[in-house]
A and B are shown apart, each in its own frame.
Chain A
Amino acid sequence: MEKLMQAIYGGIVYGSIFGMMALGLTLIWGALRMLNLAHGSLYLVGTYIAFTLVNILKVPMVPALLIAALGTAVVGFGIQTLLLNRILGKPGWDVGSLIVGVGVGMAIDQSILLIYGPRVKQMPPLIPGIFKIGRVVINYNYLVVVAVAVISLVLLSVFLSKSRHGLAIQAVSQQPDAAQLMGIPTRTVFLIVMCISAALAGLAGALLSTVYQVQRESGANAMVMALVVTIFGGLGSVKGTIWAAYIVGLLQSFLMVYLGAGTALPGVFLFMMLMLVIRPSGLFGLGEAQRL
């Protein structure tokens, strides 16, 4: 019983975090047909902005989170306007956008190494302290992380499905030609998507800096899990991605609790492979044409 509760609790924490990372990735895939390989580095930008603000400038945690999200969105804005807009709509976008992602990712990772050095750093928790339900230890900090993640996922879903600009993002993703014929300025939509996606990655990075240690490798780890979740949920599908985030989160947590931490990652990858054999376009995949 305790094991079960422990596993579910862990699954919800992981799922919320994966969801934030993966949703940004899937939005960019949906709108721009680009696999943003710099997504993990944007996560790091958020982490290190939060670290700089909290540990060096002694800014309180809540404004630091907001500034980290905004600051990462500005980086996304720069990537779109300075780099991606130059190759958008031209032949070779598929490969070109991958190269931009790898290049930007390297530039960010190495800049962080230059500025902050190779040493692993530590951040204080958002709210310290724990409480227990039975023998399951609940960490206040994790609860805050889950709450912020869930709130941002809900807000984003409402924005995408109810507002004029949110619907326009979906329209551009589903049928770009028709979207243009409705008067939707596709380049502006791409820019908005890139900023939202970057802000989510930055917020995830800042939030998780209070959970994990602050180190450069965490960006790549976050990117890998986000990729697993997006592929699992069907690239480009918002609903599928959110479901997939919690399914993968729960799976990882159950494997950890019942079979040991070492089985978690191999188990998740095995599950993803099986899933791709059975449903090649993912859980809620939008069909052949939109797959990688």
Chain B
Amino acid sequence: MLKVTDLEAGYGGSVVLHGVSLEVRDGEAVVILGPNGHGKTTLLRTISGLIRPSAGRIEFDGKVLSDMSPADIVATGVVHIPQGDLPFPELTVLENLLMGAYLPEAWKQRKEKLEQVYELFPVLRERSRQLARSLSGGERRMLALGRGLMSNAKLLMVDEPSLGLAPFLIEEVYRKLHDINKSGLSVLLADENADHIAGFADRVYLLEMGSIVGEGTAEDMLKNEALLAAYLG
């Protein structure tokens, strides 16, 4: 469904991604592994249209995303949950979630979607009237995931879901993401260590210095510990 071919992108004059190609198939959970500062976030931001690629092609369900606006890209079903969550701090949890369903199609189904999100993240129901800035780190992560799920997403792109969380919370976030994936949504996830890909990822890409340097099923990658160690340290 998502097909990225020879993608080049960067900020201003400096190129960060040097011809990245990858693919996410229907219902798959794919993880991009790579050290910090090697282009994972840039890759996701380019797919969601926040950064214009300088070369290459991004296709999703037969539509070319590379020259669409971020709003049109969301409408195709590619939804990006950004690094650091980026909640709307002065809106309540409920209002944050509603903004996830901003597009007309999703807005019509906002009540049902809200119920589903509350079911998955009961803490958000408890906090629904609180301002987002008053949430703890773990709650903010849940809010970011819930807000993403309020849309009509077909592919959920999650940037570093483990960033800055305590280990038991990281476990919980990955469990939720696994449930989301099993409910039929494709997931493309970026992370900097391989601790959580067992039992979660179908396939793994290794991204180093803005290039894909390795690719394989999660089992193969985990067996090949030497490779992982070399790239991730």
- Residues B91 and A174 in contact, CB atoms below 8 Å apart: yes
Q: A168 CA to B101 CA in the complex, in Å? A: 11
Q: Is the CB of B98 within 8 A of A167?
A: yes
Residues on A with beta carbons closer than 8 Å to the beta carbon of B50: 177, 180-181
Which of B69, B75, B99 meets A179, CB within 8 Å? B99
Give the size range of B's interface with the partner.
20 to 34
Is A178 an interface position by the 8 A CB rule? yes
Contacts of B48 in A (CB 8 A): 181
Q: Is A174 a contact partner of B90 (Cβ separation < 8 A)?
A: yes
What distance in Å separates the Cβ of A168 from its nearest Cβ neighbour in chain B?
6
Chain A binder among B23-31, B59-67, B81-89: B81-89
**Interface: B202 (CB within 8 A):** no
B74 x A183 contact (CB < 8 A): yes
Whether A164 pairs with B102 at a CB distance below 8 angstroms is yes
Number of interface residues of A (CB under 8 A): 17
- Do A180 and B71 contact each other (CB < 8 Å), given the known contacts A164-B107, A167-B98, A168-B102? yes
Enumerate chain B residues within 8 angstroms of A164, measured Cβ to Cβ: 98, 102, 107
Q: Does B215 belong to the interface (CB within 8 Å)? A: no
Are A175 and B89 CB-contacts (below 8 A) given A181-B79, A181-B80, A183-B70? yes
Q: In the complex the two chains form, is B91's CB within 8 Å of A180's CB?
A: no
A113–B95 alpha-carbon span in the complex (Å)? 47
Q: Is A171 positioned at the interface, with any CB of B under 8 Å from its CB? A: yes
Q: How far is the CB of A52 from chain B (nearest CB, A)?
A: 39
Bound form: Cα–Cα A170–B96 in Å: 10
**Cβ of A286 < 8 Å from any Cβ of B?**
yes
Contact yes or no, A171 B103, CB < 8 A: no
Per-position binary interface string of chain A over residues 89-123, scored 1 when its CB falls under 8 Å from any chain B CB and 0 otherwise: 00000000000000000000000000000000000
Residue of B nearest to A236 (CB): B90
Residues of A contacting B69 with CB < 8 Å?
Answer: 185
A42-67 contacts to B (CB < 8 Å): none
A residues 178-237 in Cβ contact with B at 8 Å: 178-185
- B100 touches A (CB below 8 Å): yes
B46 beta carbon closer than 8 Å to chain A: no
Known: A178-B88, A182-B100, A184-B102. 20 other contacts (CB 8 A): A164-B98, A167-B98, A167-B99, A168-B99, A170-B95, A174-B89, A175-B88, A175-B89, A178-B82, A181-B48, A181-B80, A182-B99, A182-B103, A182-B151, A183-B70, A183-B71, A183-B102, A184-B99, A185-B71, A286-B90
Can you name 5 A-B residue pairings with CB atoms under 8 Å?
A: A167-B95, A171-B102, A174-B89, A181-B50, A182-B103
